[in-house]
Amino acid sequence: MFQVTLEQPGDGPNIEKLLDQSFEPARRQRTAYCLRADNPPLAELCFIIRQRGLLCASIRYWRVMIDGRPPALLLGPLAVRKICRGHGFGKTLVSHSLACATDLGHEAVLVIGDADYYQQFGFSRSLAVELTLPKPATSGAFLACELVAGGLSGRLGAVSAT
Ligand SMILES: CC(C)(COP(=O)(O)OP(=O)(O)OC[C@H]1O[C@@H](n2cnc3c(N)ncnc32)[C@H](O)[C@@H]1OP(=O)(O)O)[C@@H](O)C(=O)NCCC(=O)NCCS
Ligand 1 centroid to residue 114 C-alpha, Å: 9
pLDDT band at 45 (very low <50, low <70, confident <90, very high): very high
Indicate whether residue 113 lines ligand 1 (CB < 6 A): yes
Residue 14 buriedness (CB in 10 A; 0-12 / 13-18 / 19+): middle
* pLDDT over 90, % of the chain: 93
Ligand 1 centroid to residue 71 C-alpha, Å: 27
> What are the chain's domains?
3-161 (3.40.630.30)
User: Any alpha helices (H) in 4-144, and if so which ranges?
Assistant: 12-22, 31-36, 89-103, 115-118
Q: Is residue 2 scored above 90 in pLDDT?
A: no
Q: Is residue 67 scored above 90 in pLDDT?
A: yes
Q: Which of 152, 87, 93 is nearest to 124 (CA)?
A: 152
Whether the pTM exceeds 0.95: the reply is yes
> How far is the C-alpha of 70 from the C-alpha of 65, rounded, in Å?
6
Q: Is residue 37 scored above 90 in pLDDT?
A: no
Arithmetic mean of pLDDT over the chain: 96
